[in-house]
Amino acid sequence: MGKVEISYKTGLAAGIMFAGLILTGCLEDQQKPVSDNFVVEAFLFAGEPVRNIKIKEIKPLIPEEGDTTERIIPDATVILSEQDQQYVLTFDPATGKYMYPGNDIDISTGDVFRLEVKAGNRVATSETIVPEKPEGVGLSENVIIIPQLTLNPDLRDQIISLFSSERITLTWDNPLEESYFVVIERREMVLDPLLPEQVPEEAKTLLASFRFISEPSQDSTFEIIGMALETYGRHVAKVYRVNKEYEDLFKNLEQDSRDLNEPPSNIINAIGIFTAFASDSIFFDVVRE
């Protein structure tokens, strides 16, 4: 099963994630990181395994030219706790994230989780509450029809026409104007591509950019565009409710070397974010006829 997620090439495993765009932090000395400080990117998903916790070294606000490498800390002690139960996480070299290897952890609405991270001589902590899942999730239709496309002189016009016409609307209740984002995942093991193989990769990438809401939105609708999807077959649309700490992160994406305010952080004694999400989902199919 493949996923189309926050970053459409990576897993929601946090996705989610793109929060790391601003978690490099603004430091007292812009050129050198604080030697023992670190960044936490920790995301819990109701009803899902714990596998989305990343611990990183802080990078300078103005890094050396060409330095885009994440400096993962693989030997931290990471403990997740809920009430009097503790869960010790292990580092997965394949993903660069910490995960819980057991199956006895239940992440449910209303649970209060505490995170403790020890890296070097520094211990950081944080808490988050698992939000309620969205209500009233529905679709205007449960089928999107995309005819078989072949390489021909009219293909461009066909794609433009289908892009505009073959859409369905995802809706959910949002009377309090809370924040949500949407993820679309394919459920097929074998790809049956919508687009002919000869279509330029740039065009495929452009269409793919319409697959998801990439940041929290207070909307209560989202148009699923058939031509933005990758394959025929079964898909699932997931609506995620987000916590305020995650919403605040995106309200502060504008930051440069002239702005010495640190981005929002709910991590005590380090920087970063620890938050939880809850989702509800609904299925639909992409068919030829």
| Of the candidates 112, 82, 80, 84, the residue with the CA atom closest to the CA atom of residue 97 | 80
Counting residues of the chain whose pLDDT is more than 70, the rounded percentage is: 79
Residue 72, pLDDT above cutoff 60: yes
| Residues 116, 157 within the same domain | no
| Residues 236, 253 within the same domain | no
pLDDT in tens, 162-208: 999 999 999 999 999 999 999 999 998 888 999 888 777 887 787 77
pLDDT in tens, 131-166: 999 999 999 999 999 999 888 888 889 889 999 999
| Residues 124, 209 within the same domain | no
Give the model's pLDDT for residue 50: 96
Interaxial angle between packed helices 155-165 and 201-208, expressed in degrees from 0 to 180 and rounded to the nearest 10: 10
pLDDT in tens, 20-48: 433 344 333 333 345 689 999 999 999 99
| Residues 119, 254 within the same domain | yes
Range name among 99-103, 182-186, 245-249 with the lowest pLDDT average = 245-249
Q: How many CB atoms lie within 10 A of CB 86?
A: 11
Residue 130, pLDDT above cutoff 90: yes
Q: Using CA atoms, how far apart are residues 93 and 193, in angstroms rounded to an integer?
A: 32
Give the CATH number for residue 208.
2.60.40
Write down how long the chain is. Answer: 289
Number of domains in the chain: 2
| Residues 248, 113 within the same domain | yes
| Residues 17, 103 within the same domain | yes
Coarse DSSP helix, strand, coil percentages of the chain, rounded to the nearest 5 percent? 10, 35, 55
Give the model's pLDDT for residue 266: 92
| Residues 106, 223 within the same domain | no
| Residues 43, 160 within the same domain | no
**Measured between alpha carbons, how far is residue 263 from residues 16, 37, 225 in Å?**
17, 15, 34
Say how many Å lie between the first and final Cα of the chain, rounded.
Answer: 23
Domain that holds residue 209: 138-240+282-287
Q: Using CA atoms, how far apart are residues 58 and 284, in angstroms rounded to an integer?
A: 42
Question: Is 224:167 a contact under the CB 8 Å cutoff?
Answer: yes
| Residues 212, 263 within the same domain | no
Report the mean per-residue pLDDT for the chain.
82
Residue 60, pLDDT above cutoff 90: no
Give the model's pLDDT for residue 5: 34
SS3 category, 42: strand
Q: Using CA atoms, how far apart are residues 40 and 134, in angstroms rounded to an integer?
A: 26
| Residues 78, 211 within the same domain | no
Is the model's pTM score more than 0.85? no
Question: Is 149:196 a contact under the CB 8 Å cutoff?
Answer: yes
| Residues 107, 206 within the same domain | no
| Residues 103, 146 within the same domain | no
Give the model's pLDDT for residue 154: 87
Give the model's pLDDT for residue 81: 97
